[in-house]
C-alpha cells in the first residue's frame, strides 16, 4: 500500500495517540502541581536566549507560558491556563491540575473499554451538577458595603497567600482592595499603574493616589506646578537638523549654512509657539525634546517632559482626561489634560514626577519596593493576580469559601449524582468527583500533610449540613473556613471548573495525531 502522507509526516493512531495526549497533559499538570496552595513552591525559569534571563515564579500561567512544548495535548493545557490568566487572573495552576486529574481518571476508564463519548457525556452531567452545587452555596454581600469590603480583603489575602507576598498579605490586600474600589466597578486595570523600584523591603510599598511618571524634570524648568494644564503629545521636537535622510544641500558659502540653520531654528520656534498657544503649563512628549525647544519652554515657564514611555503616556492621557496630540494647528480641538499639582518626588534614590488630583479620580499608582528585580517581578505578578480577581469580584459579587471547600462541596453532589445515574456514565461521573478531590489532596500534599487522612476526614465533615470545613495548612488539620476568613471569588471557581472540563473533553476526543512533514529547504547553491 502506498503511503498517503508525505515521507516525513508522522501519524499516531487510536490507543497510541490517546496515550501520547494523556501522558503529555499529565506531565504538564504534574509540573505545576507543586506550586498549588499556600505552601506551594516556586520554579526558576532560565531562558536560553541572550542575557539568560532568570524568572522566579509560582504563577502557573507564567511557568507554562515560558515552556516550549512539543506535545499537542500539553499545548491545550497551556492555553487554558493563559485564558484563565487573562479572564480572571487567578486559578491558573488549579485549572491545569484539575484538567490533568480529569485526564488521569479518563485514562483508567478508557482502559476499562468505556468509549470516550460516554465519558464526555458523564463529565457534562457532572459539571452541571457541580456548578449548581456551588451556586446554591455562594454568599453575596453587595448590599452591605462594610461586609463586602471584608469579603474583598479575604479574597485578596487568599489569592496572595500562595504567592511571594504571603508574609505581608494583610498589607498588600489592603493596597489591592483600595486600588480596585477606586475603579468604581470598571475592570479596566489600565488606570492602576504598578511601579517597581528596587531597594527597601516589600513592606515599604505604598499606594499613591494620582499618577507617577518615571521621568526627571528638565533643567531650568519649574519644579512644581499647580492647576496644571497638560498637553500630551507624540511629535518630533528635534527638527533643528535636516531630517531627510540622504539629503544633500549644496551651498556656495559658509553664511548660507548659517541661513539654513536659522531657518530650521525658526521652524522649531514656530512649532513651540503653536504649542504654547494652547495655554498650557506642562508639555509631555513621547519623543525627544532637543535643548533648543527645551530652552524655549523653560523661558515660557512650561514644564517639558521628554521621552515618556508609551504605556506611561497613554495612561497619563487616560488619567488626566487629555488626548494625545501630534499636530498643533487648531488648539480649540485638542483636549488638554488637567491635574491639581505636578511636583518632583523622591523614591529610593530616583526622582519621579508626581501628578496629583487627576481628573479621573479612579487612577492610582502602586509603588512596589523590594530587594531585587526578581522579587519585584514576582510581587508585581502576584499583585496583578489579586487586582484581577478583585475587579472581577466587584462586578460579580458572589463569593465562596476557599481551602478545598468548594471542591469538596462539588465532589459530594457529583458523587450523589453518580449513584442515581444508571449505565456506564456513572463511572465517568464518579471519576469526576475523584478528580475534584485531587485539588484539596494536592494542597495538603504540598504542605507536607497526610493527604489521605485529611481528605477522608474532610469528606466525613462535608456530609453534615452546612459544613464550612476546609484544609488549614497552617495548623495542619481541618479548619473552619468561615472563621479563618479564607474566601474565593465564585467567578474564578466557575471559570476553573468549566475550562478544565472543556480542555479535558477536547483531549479525550483525540484518536489520531498527525505531525506534518517540515518544509524542505531547497539547496540554493
What gap in Å lies between CA 166 and CA 404, rounded to an integer? 18
Residue 519 burial (C-beta neighbours within 10 Å; 0-12, 13-18, 19+): exposed
Q: Which of 351, 239, 344 is nearest to 285 (CA)?
A: 239
Distances (CA, A) of 102 to 85, 381, 432, 440, 487: 20, 28, 6, 15, 25
Catalytic residue among 35, 55, 62, 92: 92
What is the chain's alpha carbon radius of gyration, rounded to the nearest angstrom? 29
What gap in Å lies between CA 397 and CA 66, rounded to an integer? 33
Taken in order 187, 191, 192, 197, the sign of the CA dihedral is positive
Q: What is the DSSP letter of 218?
A: P
Taking residue 161's Cβ as centre, other Cβ atoms within 10 Å add up to 22
Q: 3-state DSSP helix/strand/coil percent for the chain, to nearest 5?
A: 50, 20, 30
- Judge whether 93 counts as a catalytic residue: yes
Catalytic residue among 151, 385, 415, 445: 385
- Judge whether 92 counts as a catalytic residue: yes
State the distance between the two ends of the chain, measured CA to CA, in whole angstroms: 36
Catalytic residue among 59, 151, 208, 472: 59
Give the HSE-up count for residue 398: Cα atoms under 13 Å, Cβ half-sphere: 10
Catalytic residue among 57, 93, 365, 501: 93
| Joined grid coordinates for residue 524 | 540554493
Q: Which of 280, 288, 351, 364 is nearest to 322 (CA)?
A: 280
| Joined grid coordinates for residue 285 | 512628549
Taking residue 372's Cβ as centre, other Cβ atoms within 10 Å add up to 11
What gap in Å lies between CA 57 and CA 45, rounded to an integer? 8
CB-based contact 332:160 (threshold 8 Å): no
What is the set of active-site residues? 59, 92-93, 385
Amino acid at each position: 500500500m502506498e503511503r498517503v502522507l508525505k515521507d516525513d509526516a508522522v501519524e499516531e493512531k487510536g490507543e497510541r495517540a490517546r496515550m501520547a495526549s494523556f501522558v503529555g497533559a499529565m506531565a504538564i499538570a504534574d509540573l505545576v502541581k507543586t506550586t498549588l496552595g499556600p505552601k506551594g513552591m516556586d520554579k526558576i525559569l532560565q531562558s536560553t536566549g541572550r542575557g539568560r534571563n532568570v524568572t522566579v515564579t509560582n504563577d502557573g500561567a507564567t511557568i507554562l507560558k515560558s515552556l516550549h512544548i512539543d506535545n499537542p495535548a500539553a499545548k491545550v493545557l497551556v492555553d487554558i491556563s493563559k485564558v484563565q490568566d487573562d479572564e480572571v487572573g487567578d486559578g491558573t495552576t488549579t485549572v491545569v491540575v484539575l484538567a490533568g486529574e480529569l485526564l488521569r481518571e479518563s485514562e483508567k476508564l478508557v482502559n476499562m473499554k468505556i468509549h470516550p463519548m460516554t465519558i464526555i457525556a458523564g463529565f457534562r452531567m457532572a459539571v452541571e451538577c457541580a456548578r449548581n452545587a456551588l451556586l446554591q452555596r455562594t454568599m453575596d454581600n453587595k448590599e452591605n458595603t462594610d461586609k463586602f469590603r471584608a469579603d474583598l480583603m479575604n479574597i485578596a489575602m487568599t489569592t496572595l497567600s500562595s504567592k511571594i507576598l504571603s508574609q505581608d498579605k494583610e498589607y498588600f490586600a489592603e493596597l489591592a482592595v483600595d486600588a480596585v474600589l477606586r475603579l468604581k466597578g470598571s475592570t479596566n486595570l489600565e488606570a492602576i499603574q504598578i511601579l517597581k523600584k528596587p531597594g527597601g523591603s516589600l513592606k515599604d510599598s505604598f499606594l499613591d493616589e494620582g499618577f507617577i511618571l518615571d521621568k526627571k524634570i528638565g533643567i531650568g524648568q519649574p519644579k512644581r506646578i499647580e492647576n496644571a494644564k497638560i498637553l500630551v503629545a507624540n511629535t518630533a521636537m528635534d527638527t533643528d537638523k535636516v531630517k531627510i535622510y540622504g539629503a544633500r544641500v549644496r551651498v556656495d558659502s559658509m553664511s548660507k549654512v548659517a541661513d539654513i540653520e536659522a531657518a530650521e531654528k525658526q521652524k522649531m520656534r514656530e512649532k513651540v509657539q503653536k504649542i504654547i498657544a494652547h495655554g498650557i503649563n506642562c508639555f509631555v512628549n513621547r519623543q525627544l525634546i532637543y535643548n533648543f525647544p527645551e530652552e524655549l519652554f523653560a523661558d515660557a515657564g512650561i514644564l517639558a517632559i521628554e521621552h515618556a514611555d508609551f504605556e506611561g503616556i497613554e495612561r497619563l492621557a487616560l488619567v488626566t482626561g487629555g488626548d494625545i496630540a501630534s499636530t498643533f494647528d487648531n488648539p480649540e480641538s485638542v483636549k488638554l489634560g488637567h491635574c491639581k499639582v505636578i511636583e518632583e518626588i523622591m523614591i529610593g534614590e530616583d526622582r519621579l514626577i508626581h501628578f496629583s488630583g487627576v481628573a479621573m479620580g479612579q487612577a492610582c499608582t502602586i509603588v512596589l519596593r523590594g530587594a531585587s528585580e526578581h522579587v519585584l517581578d514576582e510581587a508585581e505578578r502576584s499583585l496583578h493576580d489579586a487586582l484581577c480577581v478583585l475587579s472581577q469580584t466587584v462586578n460579580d459579587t458572589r463569593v465562596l469559601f476557599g481551602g478545598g471547600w468548594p471542591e469538596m462541596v462539588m465532589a459530594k453532589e457529583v458523587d450523589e449524582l453518580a449513584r442515581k445515574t444508571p449505565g456506564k456514565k456513572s463511572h465517568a461521573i464518579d471519576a469526576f468527583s475523584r478528580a475534584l478531590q485531587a485539588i484539596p489532596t494536592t494542597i495538603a500534599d504540598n504542605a507536607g500533610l497526610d493527604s489521605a487522612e485529611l481528605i477522608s476526614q474532610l469528606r466525613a465533615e462535608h456530609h453534615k449540613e452546612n459544613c464550612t470545613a476546609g484544609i488549614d495548612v497552617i495548623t495542619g488539620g481541618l479548619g473552619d473556613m468561615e472563621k479563618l476568613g479564607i474566601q474565593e471569588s465564585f467567578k474564578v471557581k466557575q471559570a476553573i471548573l468549566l475550562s478544565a472540563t472543556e480542555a479535558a473533553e477536547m483531549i479525550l476526543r483525540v484518536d489520531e495525531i498527525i505531525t506534518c512533514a517540515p518544509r524542505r529547504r531547497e539547496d540554493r547553491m
